[in-house]
Structure 1
Amino acid sequence: MSETKVTVIYDNPVDPEAFEAAYEAEQLEAARAIPGHTRFETSKVWPKEDGSPTPAYRMIDLYYPDYDAACLAVTTPEAGVFFEALGRLSTGGVRILMSDVEVPQG
């Protein structure tokens, strides 16, 4: 069985400075507290070559051993704290995906 990945894609916030000021404490720390993940990854999207923003701004990826583990994790109180803050901070929009990792690393 392959890994399952939960991906949060933040679109460009209305106020990037306000987003960045709250991101680490309210999103990264809360995401790290969601139980069961085997790997945690964050990224910031590069702008286009001309300097203009792309539709996506930042991403968080949480990897789980399987689909059932990922489904259980997103129902925990820790995930509730994360999603509550996500609703407040994602002023430009957000997408959340749950994916089957077809070619696991390693």
Structure 2
Amino acid sequence: MARLLVMYRKPEDEAAFDRHYSDIHIGLAQKMPGLKGYEISRGPVQSPGGPSPYHLVAILTFDDTAAVTAALESPEGQAAVEDVGRFATGGVDILIFDDQPAAG
């Protein structure tokens, strides 16, 4: 499996961010081809040292990194990427990676 990790920094207006994210952005992102799972954080995003600079974290699951790339390049993915600029006023960090179970 592969993950698309989207970390949204604290926006200028948290209520407006939350409203747009739940009312519009989730629906756009869920239309991306190849999406297997979609999880978002709930409540404050913390670090081991306390508060973090992030307001919300989204984890999208795909079969592999090629599927992530294809999803982002699709018309549906482009619509979701373009929408980020409409509400993520604090900025966003995006990571793509393959995952595997930890040895143990």
Asked whether the 8 Å contact 2:72–2:81 carries over to 1, the reply is: no
Distance 1:45 1:99 in 2: 25
Distance 2:25 2:60 in 1: 13
| Identical amino acids, percent of aligned pairs | 30
Distance 1:77 1:6 in 2: 17
| Letter in structure 2 aligned against 1:27 | H
Alignment pair present for 1:28 and 2:19 = no
Which residue is equivalent to 1:75? 73
Q: 4+ runs of 1 displaced by more than 3 Å?
A: none
Structure 2: gaps of 5 or more residues: none
Q: How many residue pairs get matched?
A: 100
User: RMSD over aligned Cα, in angstroms?
Assistant: 2.1
Structure 1: gaps of 5 or more residues: none
Asked whether the 8 Å contact 1:44–1:57 carries over to 2, the reply is: no
Give the SS at the match of 1:78: helix
